[in-house]
Structure 1
Amino acid sequence: MTIGSLKPAKEKRSRKNKQLIADEKVPLLPTKQVEDGGFDEFNGASYTGAVFNLSTTIVGAGIMSLPATMKVLGLAPGIAMIVFMAFLTDASIEMLLRFSRAGKNTSYGGVMNDAFGKYGRMLLQVCVLVNNIGVLVVYMIIIGDVLSGTTSSGIHHAGVLEGWFGVQWWNGRTIVLLVTTLGIFAPLASLKRIDSLRYTSALSVALAVVFLVVTAGITVYKLISGGIMMPRLLPEATDLTSVLKLFTAVPVLVTAYICHYNVHTIENELEDRKQIRGVVRSSLALCSSVYVMISLFGFLLFGDATLDDVLANFDTNLGVPFSSLLSDVVRVSYAAHLMLVFPIVFFPLRLNLDGLLFPSARPLVLSNVRFAVISIGLIGLIFLGANFIPSIWDAFQFTGATAAVCIGFIFPAAVTLGDHHGIATKKDKILCIFMIVLAVFSNVVAIYSDAYALFKKNGTPQ
């Protein structure tokens, strides 16, 4: 045996002696070495694939709420806020990456452990669990609503499959979600490398663009035919109630770009890890463009009739040729988009649950049993939640929004303010104070508005 061959072995023993926490210091999947001691053919993820994976992490169900924020804020302030939040997200991720390098950490959990100890890491992991489980349950509920239909307040809204084939045993919610889970979610969730999802992520982004193109086409047609009135450029603030209503749009915009829990995983698989800053900025630029265009065309198309979930507006006659066909294209493309977003959000969920339950175990990818048990357990939990607790949407508006802003803004800002490595500037700290105030404020507004709406609903006489 040569001296050169001894060096890696010594490094491995050194790392083992330090008892590094698996999800803190070790990438999810070793770049070269595989379980049997051999080497695979993976030489690193491409820049383009990383951009698509991070963009898919960002663009989820929240995109459907953005046109409603234009109704509340008006076009000019609404679009300005979308762009502003993109820059604020870029700043928070840059701080997170900077402190990662200073502490030689390869995960978000490692940064939190470095700054606040194991309880900081565990708090982050719990927030990721709360946020991602809530998001994935909501995704599955929406998929069920779009494909199988839903009944609300005694009114039945037919799903796409019900509209095409009528009421059948096989297009009920439970069967549709079961087939989707076994045929799409389970196979994609079984992939051990996030870069393996680059093609489905690219397709997911393309489906979001399909929704954008169809909406823009309908809007342009109605503009030419004179079927659209000039939208409000500024908000209507005539009394205290209307002023307070403006702030209900803040939580939607604050959580629109949450992707921080996947940044390190994507960086670890990059062929050149220095490209991560370019990947983040390219993804934010792409998603911001999609957000602005969908907000603009969605609000132009429906005006003050824009619903909280603009997808619900497509359940009516759009007043254009082939209205029914276009509505189906929009709804099916959106449901397919969510199906492909699911594994990207599921990936960090599984990783953080494993880190919380087995902090000292070897990397998850090297234990097929642990990998399978955690994957099956989480998918089963999400499936049950979507089928038997549909009102869970309201519950996760309280917990999910709070966890999301902690992940995206409060934790990166707290790490920077703590400045364990002495690398934060005065400008950084001022920006961090602003981020924490904005995040806390958005949480208070979200909880207040949701509680007020819930109590008002329950207090309405029947």
Structure 2
Amino acid sequence: MLEINSTSDMSINAGEVTAVYTDHGAAEEDMGSETTLLLGNRAVEQRAKGASFTSSVFNLMNAIMGSGILGLAYAMAHTGVVGFCILLLLVSSLAAYSINLLLKLCDETGINTYEGLGGRALQKPGKVLVGVTILIQNIGAMSSYMFILKTELPAAISSFLSPETSGGAWYADGRTLLILVTVCVVLPLALLPRIGFLGYSSSLAFLFMLFFTVVVVVNKWAIPCPLPSNVTHNQISNTTESDCTPKLFVISSKSAYTIPTMSFSFLCHTAVLPIYSELDRPTRKRMQNVTNVSISLSSLLYLISALFGYLTFYGHVDTELLLGYNAYLPRDVLVMTVRLAVLLAVVLTVPLIHFPARKAIIMLFCGDGAFSWVHHIFSTLLILAVVMVLAIFVPDIRNVFGVVGSTTSTCLLFVFPGMFYLRLSNQPLRSLESIGAVSLMVFGLFVGLLSLSVIVVTWVQNP
């Protein structure tokens, strides 16, 4: 995250801010209370109204939810219903806890950027490390989303047309559609100076994901079990009644994919601090409530879509849930519509992921100066150009960024929050919160190594 400079961006310069609490004796304990910020020796004037609570919730949910929702039914098939629920609760709780640590550090240090916390904890190398990690993670995520758009959008559009329609039409070319969508949709949203403005597009993306979840629930009764024997899909020609019984616990080699999949599905930490900076009446307690609501609603949608997707296909669920519906319900209007809706939700997520990436590149190369439209526009165009080049010309970008993502995502989600808290907090090492920070780091390292091992093994098995 980058500091949002200038008055219009609701800036709080960490080097010049001093937090003064009205109750001297309870300054550190009353963490939910409002603080009075002083700039130098003068009180800062009442700031303009920031983003609403609801808008911030939608933005954070949009940062959490992406195309990862398509793979959670597959994760449930290889962990069991109860096993999946336990892991979902564990990962979502750890994600909320790591955000809580970041917000506490913001209050204690007066720093409101992820890079700034890295700089305070590890000096300049820490600031550069966090900035580069955010850039790699977010550019990789945006490139993967745009790659999905390039490959899936032509088929989604063609599914609404008659089979006799020529395949040489412009809308059947993924590269052409990618350029058009980027210029007409992503670029205008990415150019917005404040992340709070994306609340409207984020609410639309949430509705698309809600629509996806409803369709998954409805189609539970549209596909019979045992699955139709006249449909051959995923090397399965027939199923039996025994295949239609949900399993509570499952342990297999593919179970190793579950924790990494869930961890990446809850990564929103690069957007948390910009959202916090622009929140109306920003306090740690208010932002933590935004986080709790966002993660709770996201977890609910994750659970419902994964459960009913699993109860539709059981052990034969695809790694991407929609592929199963395309095979068993070809040219179904509802399935075709939800396929397009998920793609639109992915498109609306890209500007939100772009925001912290742009802030990182500006902070790394331009410092913490006042807001500049020149830097803002140039960095926006540069990042989108890199993303488009990767999505258009790299044959399979997902494997490349799978390795990078497994490391950067884990660092941003678990390792950095725990490490920075241990370095910056004045709590003793034996305190409950310090022990929690250590546990968070250990869990992050475990997930990172597990993710990297899974990807390497997959490459070896399927070169």
TM-score in terms of structure 1 length? 0.83
Residue matched to 2:431:
426
**Distance apart, 1:451 and its partner CA:** 1.4
- Of 378-387 and 448-457, more deviation after overlay is shown by 448-457
Residue matched to 1:440:
445
Conserved 8 A contact 1:188-1:197: yes
Residue matched to 1:199:
200
Residue matched to 1:15:
none
> Structure 1's 28 and 396: CA in aligned 2 closer, same or farther, altered over 3 A?
farther
Conserved 8 A contact 2:11-2:277: no
Equivalent of 2:83, from 64, 69, 77?
77
Question: What's the % identity of the aligned pairs?
Answer: 25
> Structure 1's 211 and 23: CA in aligned 2 closer, same or farther, altered over 3 A?
closer
Q: Distance in 2 between matches of 1:30 and 1:140?
A: 28
Residue matched to 2:346:
338
Q: Distance in 2 between matches of 1:378 and 1:428?
A: 37
**1:297 maps to 2:298:** no
Give the letter aligned to residue 308 of structure 1: T
Residue matched to 2:101:
95
Structure 1 segments unaligned to the other structure (5+ residues): 1-21, 34-38, 150-158
Give CA deviations for 1:162-219 in whole Å, capped at 9, x if unaligned.
6625413311011110110111001111111111111110010000000000110111
Give the letter aligned to residue 367 of structure 2: P
Structure 2 segments unaligned to the other structure (5+ residues): 13-44, 229-242
**Distance apart, 1:395 and its partner CA:** 0.7
1:411-422 matched pairs, under 5 angstroms: 411-422=416-427
**1:353 maps to 2:364:** no
Conserved 8 A contact 1:317-1:324: no
Residue matched to 2:455:
450
Give CA deviations for 1:141-169 in whole Å, capped at 9, x if unaligned.
111222124xxxxxxxxx43366254133
> Structure 1's 251 and 161: CA in aligned 2 closer, same or farther, altered over 3 A?
same
Q: Distance in 2 between matches of 1:408 and 1:226?
A: 39
Give CA deviations for 1:394-449 in whole Å, capped at 9, x if unaligned.
01110012101100110001112224433776222222222222222222222222
Q: How many residues are aligned here?
A: 411
**Distance apart, 1:106 and its partner CA:** 1.3
> Structure 1's 285 and 28: CA in aligned 2 closer, same or farther, altered over 3 A?
farther
> Structure 1's 318 and 231: CA in aligned 2 closer, same or farther, altered over 3 A?
farther
Equivalent of 2:141, from 135, 141, 165?
135
1:267-306 matched pairs, under 5 angstroms: 267-274=276-283, 275-306=286-317
TM-score in terms of structure 2 length? 0.83
**Distance apart, 1:134 and its partner CA:** 0.7
**Distance apart, 1:25 and its partner CA:** 7.7
Equivalent of 1:368, from 349, 367, 373?
373
Q: Distance in 1 between matches of 2:264 and 2:307?
A: 19
> Structure 1's 28 and 334: CA in aligned 2 closer, same or farther, altered over 3 A?
farther
Residue matched to 2:392:
387
Residue matched to 1:51:
57
- Of 307-316 and 89-98, more deviation after overlay is shown by 307-316
**1:398 maps to 2:399:** no
Give CA deviations for 1:269-320 in whole Å, capped at 9, x if unaligned.
111102211111110111111111111011111211112222222321239x
Conserved 8 A contact 1:27-1:265: no
> Structure 1's 224 and 42: CA in aligned 2 closer, same or farther, altered over 3 A?
farther
Give CA deviations for 1:362-417 in whole Å, capped at 9, x if unaligned.
24xx3111111111111111111111103111011100121011001100011122
**1:187 maps to 2:195:** no
Give the letter aligned to residue 93 of structure 2: F
Residue matched to 1:160:
157
Q: Distance in 1 between matches of 2:82 and 2:325?
A: 24
> Structure 1's 406 and 94: CA in aligned 2 closer, same or farther, altered over 3 A?
same
Residue matched to 1:248:
257
Q: Distance in 1 between matches of 2:112 and 2:7?
A: 10
Give the letter aligned to residue 203 of structure 1: L
- Of 402-411 and 108-117, more deviation after overlay is shown by 108-117
> Structure 1's 27 and 68: CA in aligned 2 closer, same or farther, altered over 3 A?
farther
Q: Which has the higher helix share?
A: 1
Give CA deviations for 1:315-360 in whole Å, capped at 9, x if unaligned.
21239xxx62122012101001101111111111111111111224
Give the letter aligned to residue 453 of structure 2: Y
**Distance apart, 1:42 and its partner CA:** 5.0
Residue matched to 1:209:
210
Give the letter aligned to residue 229 of structure 1: C
Q: Distance in 2 between matches of 1:166 and 1:312?
A: 24
Q: Distance in 2 between matches of 1:408 and 1:32?
A: 24
Q: Distance in 2 between matches of 1:32 and 1:450?
A: 41
